[in-house]
A = this chain, B = another copy of it.
Amino acid sequence: MRCVTIVENELVLAERETPVPGPLDVVVSVRAAGLNAADLLQRRGFYPAPPGWPVDVPGMELAGLVTAVGEAVHEPLLGRRVCALVGGGAQATHCLVPSEHLLFLPDHVAWSEAGGFAEAFTTAHDALVTQGELAAGERVVISGAAGGVGVAAVQIARALGAEVAAVTRDDAHHAQLRELGADQTITLEEVDALRDVDVVLELIGAAHLERVLPRLARFARVVVIGVGAGSRAEIDLRLVMASRARVTGATLRARGRDEKTVVLERVANTLVPRWRTGEVRVPIARVFDLDQVSEAYAYFAQPGKFGKVVLRVDD
Contacts and interface: CB of A to CB of B under 8 A. Distances in A.
Given A241-B250, A241-B251, A248-B244, A231 B236 contact: yes
A245 interface: yes
A227 B224 CA distance: 23
Most buried by B among A227, A237, A246, A247: A237
A236 B247 contact: no
A205 interface: yes
Per assembly, the copies of the chain total 2
Interface in A224-279: 224-225, 227, 231-238, 240-241, 244-251
Given A236-B232, A237-B227, A241-B225, A248 B246 contact: yes
A206 interface: yes
A209 interface: yes
A248 B245 contact: yes
A249 B234 CA distance: 16
Given A237-B249, A246-B247, 6 more contacts: A225-B241, A232-B234, A240-B248, A245-B248, A246-B246, A247-B247
